[in-house]
Structure 1
Amino acid sequence: MRINQKRRTFVLSLLLSAPVIFFSALASAGPVADQTKKELKFGFVPGPYEDTFRKGIEPILAKQGYRIRYYSFSSGLEANNAVFTGDIDANIMQHSVFLEAYNQRNRTDLVGIVHVPTPPMGLYSRKYRTTADVQAGSRVVVPNDPVNLERALKILAGLGWIGLKPAANPIDVTELDVASNSKGVKITPLESAQAPRALEDVELAAVQGNFAIYSGLKLTDALALEKMTLPYVNVVAVRKQNVDVQWARDITSAYKSPEFQQTIRNDRFYDGFRLPDYFSKS
């Protein structure tokens, strides 16, 4: 596979830019919040979130009389647009930094109502077994959108391979924010979804957790995992006008319930996931 090494453009800028801002005043206002609805439409992109929802959340909501409909999207842009226009009620696929960038660029009002268990980004390799084995000059694929590029660069910085300029804005990060490269790794931006496949051609790849799991990579096989902080823990996103409606409160309560927490803790699949702060410590 040939890796496109053209200087990346900000994916959010391309996908979330002016052409998307075409909603009419009626669309911008959105549908009136329905307090009593019992059919909920959820959107997902490739990754573990739909399976988690089906396994741990739908059974709780079903006991309360809700019917769930599932919708698949190929990109976060499509999933967010569907929430904003009212085609679906919520999506589960993004962290708060991405969500805020989407809102800023599209003048939208999506809000995260609850954090969800999230697999961290990891550094993977089919050539090396440990970070100590990595040789100078090794190629490392990183996400080509600045929000997730920053996460990848922090993994490399945490290993002591590179140094970063301070106070870089995560939505404007480029490889120019690499101030030093003592390991001599060759940083190659690539679309995030392509990173797992790139492992056939490069020595290393920083892979977002959802794409890693979707492609069959195990978090426990990563050479290094990011130290995931709260802004990068994924959320259930809804329109702002729906934050306090009953069905949104019921979704939040389902995620925070002891039943859901037990489901996650009893499944080894979730080993390595960053659990939300509301999870009990026991």
Structure 2
Amino acid sequence: MRKNLFIIMALTLAFSLFVAGCGTKSGAGTTNNAAGNTAAPKEEPKKALKIGATAGPYSDMVTKAIKPIMEKKGYTIEVVEFNDYVQPNKALANGSLNANLFQHVLYLKKFAADNNLDLKEVISVPTAPMGLYSKKFKSLEEIKEGSTLTISNDPANLARSLVLLQDIGLVKMKKDVDPAKVSEKDIEENPKKLNIKPLEAAQLPRTIDSSELALVPGNFALAAKMDLTSALKLENMSENFRNILVVNSKDIDTQLGKDLKETIQSKDFEKIIDEQFKGFSKPEWMKAAK
């Protein structure tokens, strides 16, 4: 009997110790959770992006106006610079870039169609206007017959050059010409018999000293430290010729596409443009938002 009593007491003690042990573990877990709640939450890993842009003002626009706002949204941004109009779209299409900024919508559509690329614009951005520059003449009226005029030879800027020349009466283009395929061969009238020389856009600022006239895209003018306001004439920019931010079509409706668009539509973005990109022509959507 006494032996049985000892066995019962031993089992009771063992059970009590087991329950106490469980209670201690549970309590310790509660304490740890409480302590965990007071610790700083772990940061989510930031999303690394690569955005391509032509060297000069649009690379600067990504660095100074897009990058800081996107970083506040949890991204890290690497800016990749290009010196041509071919590689940025190819790099975007093959996944080397997440977005690019260097072209207008007409060029994008033609390049994408010619190269079978699935790219799409996110939104247009303020764009440096093309200008007609000269060190020989101080006004359009002074331009002499037979003067040499250098212009861009790439489709992205050639169409803009010819539209500007027609707007100011220096040439007349053939009717119904395709703006995506237009060239100097589509000039119907050249009343001043200008000697038009298409060249690489990056070379145009250097031709101002050797030719009478040069039509220089705004980004290359700024990269060469030229004053936009010194132009004989700045283009009346069509919306089709404003630069656009571009992504792969599959990304247009993703959070990335939405964040990029929201960034460019933000007041912070416009403030940086007003302060650091003076003379840039703003797109209609930005003007309408005021």
Shared topology, TM-score over 0.5?
yes
Q: Deviations over 1:207-237 (max 9, x none)?
A: 1111111111121111111111111111111
Structure 1 unaligned spans of 5+: 1-35
Contact kept, 8 Å, 1:82 with 1:88, in 2: the verdict is: yes
- Deviation for aligned residue 1:280: 4.1
State yes or no: 1:71 paired with 2:80.
yes
Alignment of 1:36-55 (within 5 A): 38-55=47-64
- Deviation for aligned residue 1:184: 2.3
Q: Which residue of 1 aligns with 2:8?
A: none
What is the rounded CA distance, in whole Å, between the counterparts of 2:88 and 2:183 in structure 1? 26
What is the rounded CA distance, in whole Å, between the counterparts of 2:170 and 2:81 in structure 1? 38
What is the rounded CA distance, in whole Å, between the counterparts of 2:227 and 2:169 in structure 1? 24
What SS does the aligned partner of 1:211 have?
Answer: helix
What is the rounded CA distance, in whole Å, between the counterparts of 1:264 and 1:74 in structure 2? 23
Q: Which residue of 1 aligns with 2:128?
A: 119
Amino acid aligned to 1:276: P
Find 1:251's aligned residue among 237, 256, 260. Answer: 260
Amino acid aligned to 1:101: K
TM-score normalised to the size of structure 1? 0.82
Larger relative CO (CA 8 A, sep 6+): 1 or 2? 1
What SS does the aligned partner of 2:102 have?
Answer: strand
What SS does the aligned partner of 1:189 have?
Answer: strand
Contact kept, 8 Å, 1:90 with 1:238, in 2: the verdict is: yes
State yes or no: 1:183 paired with 2:192.
yes
Q: Which residue of 1 aligns with 2:278?
A: 270
- Deviation for aligned residue 1:150: 2.2
Q: Which residue of 1 aligns with 2:176?
A: 167
Alignment of 1:96-115 (within 5 A): 96-115=105-124
Structure 2 unaligned spans of 5+: 1-44
Find 1:154's aligned residue among 148, 153, 163. Answer: 163
What is the rounded CA distance, in whole Å, between the counterparts of 1:241 and 1:124 in structure 2? 41
State the identity %.
37
- Deviation for aligned residue 1:126: 1.6
Q: CA RMSD in A?
A: 1.6
Q: Which residue of 1 aligns with 2:203?
A: 194
What is the rounded CA distance, in whole Å, between the counterparts of 2:156 and 2:100 in structure 1? 19
- Deviation for aligned residue 1:147: 4.4
More helix by share: 2
Q: Which residue of 1 aligns with 2:286?
A: 279
State yes or no: 1:141 paired with 2:150.
yes
TM-score normalised to the size of structure 2? 0.80
Q: State the 4+ residue runs in structure 1 displaced beyond 3 angstroms.
A: none
Q: Which has the larger radius of gyration?
A: 2
What is the rounded CA distance, in whole Å, between the counterparts of 1:158 and 1:280 in structure 2? 23
State yes or no: 1:128 paired with 2:99.
no
